[in-house]
Homo-oligomer: A and B are copies of this chain.
Amino acid sequence: MRHCGAMSGHHMDPEEFRAHGHALVDWIAGYLERVEDLPVRSRVAPGAVADRLPASPPEQGEPFADMLRDVDDIVVPGLTHWQSPSFFGYFPANSSGPSVLGELLSAGLGVQGMLWSTSPAATELEMRVLDWLRQLLDLPDRFGWDGAGGAVIADSASSANLCALLAARHRAGGADPSLVVYASEHTHSSVEKAVRIAGLAADQLRLVPADAEHAMRPDQLDRLVREDQAAGRRPCMVAATVGTTSSMAVDPVPVIGQLCSRTGIWLHVDAAMAGAAAVCPELRWIHEGLQRADSYCVDAHKWLFTNFDCTAFFVADRDALTGALSVQPEYLRNAASDAGEVVDYRDWQIPLGRRFRALKLWFVLRHYGAAGLRHHIREHVALAGELADRIRRDDRFELVSSVLNLVCFRHRAGDATSAAILEQLNASGAIFLTHTRLDGRYVLRLSVGQTRTERRHVELAWRLLSAAADAMVADNRER
């Protein structure tokens, strides 16, 4: 039964695993050392990677070295390098050494955490480490395990938003065409997706108008809720956003929470991108009013040095969530579950199976410590603030917004110029940023938060933006 070398098609034995594992660890360390020098945005054309891959799988096994060679030759040129210190697009996906090693350990152990009994440590470490995160972010006690609350690691804020909706719907008595969900017009697309998945009609979602800062207008929310109630509809959930994707706008949770408490509407707060900022006491204003929320989520895999996937999803009433998601087949019954003395995380999520994702968050929180996390988050916010100041003082650009680590701006010459600058910089490979539309206008977004981003990278970004703007204007003059 034992292996007979790399080409055998047999299992990789521990000796081989050690050798290949060391080689791959070294490869990753080398990648992270040189990623700064690679073009941030991939330059491959559609189909170019696929064309270099065989049309059919090999009949005989291949040596590991061949795969690593193809990673270099075929895969790396096809990557947009999210771990580059000059990646300023979308949102940070700031992984770290301890997180990558936690993921490796999870894969190596290969246990299932679907039930407490299928590996008790997977469940109990997750419960504990999420409570650590609750303390780090100074989240309300009601999300702790001592009362009726609790928390779970989800794969994404999209899934957490869906689960919040399912819990809210369950508390409201189940699926019903009279239910209505509310979110700001700047809410993340996952709320619309969740509404659709849950089988609500498009007109069961109300997009509440936002104010000049792109935050939900509570007076408009109040108006919509009253109109729906008057028409016999039943307001079910408000999804408030702390840090919108487009511009990091923060919905006024305190006022929204009062309205929800008064009317019995489930309040879900999506802080996927911004929530991590609350490790710093001076940034905890973003969570004002959170004590009225029924559920809350933050992505450790965005701005907390933990590789995707690791969304922390907190609920004040865990029974509402498990009531919505629990199904009890015989083949999953066991003494601990029957006794009701354990948490079975399968009832907290869409899938049944689950990896041991708590390991990576545990490693990250222990490696950095609270002090380390605060230090790095502060650095990112400071760097974004410095860039925003430069843009504010510059005649060519208009600063549209600057909140936490996200700077939104546009060229005063208009949308076409802004879009052309974006495309030119991304095509150069030197930096990468993305765009959105705010108030109908094309806006550049520059998000500071990669693990290896330092002041020099943000300064380079500014020089390149500045040069591109000058070149654009010169170019327009010549025409």
Contacts and interface: CB of A to CB of B under 8 A. Distances in A.
A355 B308 contact: yes
Nearest to A279: B57
Interface stretch (A215-223, A312-320, A430-438): A430-438
Please provide the 7 A-B residue pairs with the shortest distance between their CB atoms, ordered closest to farther: A9-B372, A199-B199, A78-B121, A12-B97, A21-B25, A28-B108, A156-B351
B50 A127 contact: yes
A31 B78 contact: no
A59 B107 contact: no
A47 to B, nearest CB: 7
Interface string A190-232: 1011001111110000000000000000000000000000000
A16 interface: yes
Interface residues of A, number: 157
Contacts of A375: 9-10
Interface stretch (A363-371, A458-466, A467-475): A363-371
Nearest to A435: B331
13 contacts: A9-B372, A10-B368, A11-B97, A17-B28, A21-B100, A22-B25, A24-B101, A59-B371, A82-B118, A158-B350, A197-B350, A308-B354, A308-B355
A96 interface: yes
Contacts of A153: none
A297 B465 CA distance: 47
Contacts of A135: 56-57
A371 B104 contact: no
Interface string A26-55: 111111110000000010101111100101
Contacts of A190: 327, 351-352
A189 B114 CA distance: 13
Contact of A79 (B29, B64, B119, B175): B119
A148 interface: no
Q: How many subunits of this chain does the assembly comprise?
A: 2
Contacts of A104: 21, 24-25, 28, 100, 103-104, 107
B29 A111 contact: no
Nearest to A326: B193
Nearest to A331: B436
Given A121-B74, A201-B175, A351-B158, A112 B90 contact: yes
A44 B118 CA distance: 12
Given A44-B120, A49-B125, A366-B61, A371 B29 contact: no
Contacts of A122: 78-79
